[in-house]
Chain A
């Protein structure tokens, strides 16, 4: 091991770097110096909005190799000025959580277990059930002959966590199908 030069003494480093309190460059290790934040090496930064409460804090999403590597507050947002709460700060984990489900699962009647179903088959099965239930439960008129044009056999719940455009398509499709029982958290 080479003898240490007095130039490496902490007090000398503090004086020579101007870091008098010893909280900056004077005490930074070579290893720390070699580290750059993930955000600095991202391929791109995408502006987004926090998905939790309705304050609508601005987010910057850092992407590298088509993966989200970090999500931070957007200092440009006049609403949040760069800040995020614990949930917003954890939202990278919402995207990359190891427990997140990325496969379609199906539970058959009376079954005790899930099984995998491919996406295309699943959508087709849902479409078939939608059409059948609608047909079985159709109400054209009430007992006084007034138009109803609906099904009370299909319902939905959800929308407050979704986009305006998504709510719009859901409402449009369900209304055209006569499925009036669409609801969301706003009722709760």
Chain B
């Protein structure tokens, strides 16, 4: 970001939430870079930007689509980059029909399943065929959504059968991706932005002009986002839209370019790479699904074709090395490397599904490991009610968070819905070690692993998770020792002997070494692997997470590298270790032109050195080191060897950056604007109101407000959005127990405009009650011009800002109502993230009712709006307008019918 000429921050309040990272934005600005903040609220970030552009929450695809349209219509795209490095020239199959032609739906929509059959979006093959996904048959979007298959794209694109695409380098064929993109966004105009986002034409033109003037050979623009983009029912598409724009402008793989995901937890990147997620194995390998990945051969055929280009063609080596790391000698060629030791998925098993399964009494035990869902997850009431159905709950945390104490002081005890004496759940609170009381690595938001050394021993009975889980595993294995039951083999055969210190704490470096991997055979047997390219599919290597291989190369913990920043260059490659291969900018081959020369002296980064016959520069080249720029290998060789000299996107099956996604995205190959699940605005672009493929849960405890134009919408007339403050951390488990931070931000509040305060009689610093279809909460009123009412579609839209750090309980230094109690559960179909950045509510002066009266108030609103479990949950808004027969949503959701 420090190298950017223009920085657009959208969907993030970076100066507030990542203040120390923001110094690099400030530095770029001091050098003359333009900083533009697009956000519903005027925040601390807006205050230190060149310009703040207020936007209606949830309308970002309209704005980004209009920028794409502006760039194409005014011929401002980076022609040489786009033609060579993206799939702009690739032909899409004739069967494809765009949302422009079908009233907002793409071809292949299945109203029964509420999901797409994505096969018509495929690339065209010679002789009228389609380039399918590898392996037997193609996966329906409904199944892909259930296993949140989008998550598997964390380190590269979806697999293709083969890379023999057809291209028209002139980009004129109407079936080229370029022409399709051009047509798709033609109606996303400045006027549409004005009508849908509430952004003036002058502000739009300023934004469009600034980013295009700061893109090209000599200049680069960077985007930064956070959960303001991800927490939507089409969040994945917000980010895809920015990716299309950045590819068209040539801002990917270059210094000062890219799209920065600003993540909010110390190792949330690490917990995605080494995933405590239901659908992933380490390194973005999918957890097998029954019926799709029944045998190792099926699994390997599907996740990466040997015929496709790039490094995902070697997924067999990554998978088998993982199985060898976990099951050692028990993993042999004869038993398919213990592939059948892996459990199988049969649908959606994400965190919200799990809570609904708790309510059905299907879950007996639950571990909470440094997470506070009673406050931090959407629909707090459902979270707490779910936990009350458990047989046992283990909460491992530093403090007595609300998720540990809901049984005695939660909101449902006050409302009378739960009675402590009736709750059967056993609760274990186990104190955890802090970050200085254990050694280990965090992976921060730029994929950089940084080691922490242990400073002191944990106090009292506090333990690290490493120690607790190592010990738990040992005891489970000891109790099962001698079992002849086949189901216990994976536990008993597990490699689980880590050296421990005098306190019984396992050596975290030994675990890191296992993650890195080692040679098992040959002259190097026992030695750490240096790079994932050394992995083999014959059982001669073991590694716990292939993308992290190299962090322990040479037996040295490179995450602990600490050469002071002032003693090294801007890439600072000797501080910590970035995956993959200590590379700081991904796809950096794109920082040079097709001939291998830097696009400009000013933006020089990686280039081809003809004399040495290799790529050189300021970073580790993200390309086969000796692959010359003009290389045209036979594509049928497959894998990395098939990459041409101008295929910079080495983890993509065709080596190109995807403007159009022929596979992998469940709700459309191109981002398309849909309104949120709950919106007071009708979609002006299409008859289709909401994302047709979003995951809905029609249940009596998860009602939705009616959308604009349907009866009852006026009962919840305002939009609310949730956010963070500098002084607190998510659900407060690490901040509301600290006196310093509690004093700095003691109280829950809501931000409202002076106009809304006048309309509803809200007194500054008085109380307000905010009511959604799920709950009602109270907050102190902050009246501020920072919340500007927007003119949208001819009427005024008021937005309310709610920080979400507080919760109801008696243990924290400060407590208060939880904003997340207002939210329902509607999910993005690619990654199953909930829509929590935009929803509908009402607001009125005064405190909320206590006891049973609280539920009565919520019910009174529900009745007045005429809410049913069907409200807002239709997949297709207007079947006639979209020319298809709409069925009930039914099993389009992953949960089933009404509760």
Contact = CB atoms under 8 A, between A and B. Distances in A.
A67 B449 CA distance: 26
A26 interface: no
B852 interface: no
Contacts of B531: none
A57 B575 CA distance: 12
A11 interface: no
Nearest to B14: A55
Contacts of A162: 267, 271, 276, 369-370, 465
B421 A171 contact: no
Nearest to A154: B365
Contacts of A158: 276, 367-371, 396
Interface string A151-188: 01111111111111111111111011111111111111
B480 interface: yes
B469 interface: yes
B270 to A, nearest CB: 4
A160 B466 contact: no
Most chain B CB within a 10 A radius of its CB, from A47, A90, A123, A160? A160
Contacts of A95: 434, 436-437
Contact of A169 (B268, B342, B349, B473): B473
B407 interface: yes
Contact of B21 (A55, A147, A168, A184): A55
Contacts of B564: 75-76, 78
B847 interface: no
Interface string B399-410: 110000001100
A167 B271 contact: yes
A146 B572 CA distance: 50
A67 B456 contact: yes
A22 interface: no
B459 to A, nearest CB: 5
Interface in B21-72: 21, 23
A129 interface: yes
Nearest to A123: B471
Contacts of A110: 420-424
A137 B360 CA distance: 13
A182 B366 CA distance: 10
Interface in B97-119: none
Contacts of B456: 63, 66-68
Contacts of B391: 129, 133
Contact of B476 (A80, A87, A104, A130): A130
Contacts of B274: 164, 167-168, 171
Contacts of B231: 188
Contacts of A185: 264-265, 268, 271, 371, 376, 730
Nearest to B363: A155
B436 A157 contact: no
A146 B290 contact: yes
Given A47-B453, A57-B20, A176-B494, A163 B431 contact: no
A92 to B, nearest CB: 9
A154 B491 CA distance: 15
A77 B568 CA distance: 11
Contacts, number: 469
A128 interface: yes
Interface stretch (B160-168, B635-643, B829-837): B829-837
B343 A175 contact: yes
Interface in A18-37: none
A83 interface: yes
Interface in A126-143: 126-131, 133, 136-138, 140, 142
Contacts of A183: 276-278, 350-351, 354
A127 B475 CA distance: 6
Contacts of B443: 164
A178 B399 contact: no
Contact of B349 (A112, A136, A152, A175): A152
B381 to A, nearest CB: 16
B755 interface: no
Interface string B254-272: 0000000011111111111
Interface residues on B, range: 35 or more
A66 B455 CA distance: 8
Contacts of B475: 123-124, 127
Query: Which size class do A's interface residues fall under?
Result: 35 or more
B511 A169 contact: yes
Given A100-B399, A155-B363, A166-B464, A149 B343 contact: yes
Which of A108, A131, A140, A171 has the most CB atoms of chain B within a 10 A radius of its CB? A171
Contact of B428 (A55, A61, A104, A155): A104
A130 B472 contact: yes
Contact of A152 (B282, B362, B515): B362
A77 B472 contact: no
Nearest to A112: B420
B426 A107 contact: yes
A87 B440 contact: no
A166 B515 CA distance: 11
B703 interface: no
A182 B422 CA distance: 28
A146 to B, nearest CB: 4
A54 B441 contact: no
B833 A188 contact: yes
A81 B734 contact: no
B727 A86 contact: yes
A180 B349 contact: yes
B278 to A, nearest CB: 5
Contacts of B422: 110
Contacts of A157: 351, 354, 366-369, 371, 373
Interface stretch (B74-82, B311-319, B736-744, B854-862): B736-744
Contact of B398 (A68, A75, A100): A100
Contact of A146 (B287, B294, B461, B566): B294
A53 B449 CA distance: 14
Contact of B466 (A97, A140, A166): A166
A165 B512 contact: yes
A12 interface: no
A101 interface: yes
A167 B275 contact: yes
A148 to B, nearest CB: 5
B470 to A, nearest CB: 6
A181 B267 contact: no
Contacts of B740: 86, 90, 93
Contacts of A142: 290-291, 346
Interface string B271-313: 1111111100110000100110010000000000000000000
Contacts of B508: 163, 165
Interface string B444-469: 11101111111111011111111011
A48 B439 CA distance: 9
A23 B343 CA distance: 69
A77 B371 CA distance: 28
Contact of B354 (A47, A81, A131, A155): A155
Nearest to A166: B465
Contacts of B566: 76
Contacts of A77: 565, 575
Given A95-B437, A157-B368, A164-B267, A56 B351 contact: no
Interface in B318-351: 326, 340-346, 349-351
B377 interface: yes
Contacts of A186: 268, 271-272, 275, 277
A78 to B, nearest CB: 3
B201 interface: no
Nearest to A88: B20
B184 interface: no
15 contacts: A52-B265, A53-B17, A99-B813, A106-B426, A107-B429, A109-B426, A110-B420, A147-B344, A155-B363, A164-B270, A165-B511, A168-B511, A176-B341, A187-B148, A187-B351
Q: List 9 tightest A-B contacts by C-beta distance, closest first.
A: A78-B565, A158-B369, A102-B460, A56-B444, A163-B440, A159-B276, A150-B343, A160-B265, A78-B572
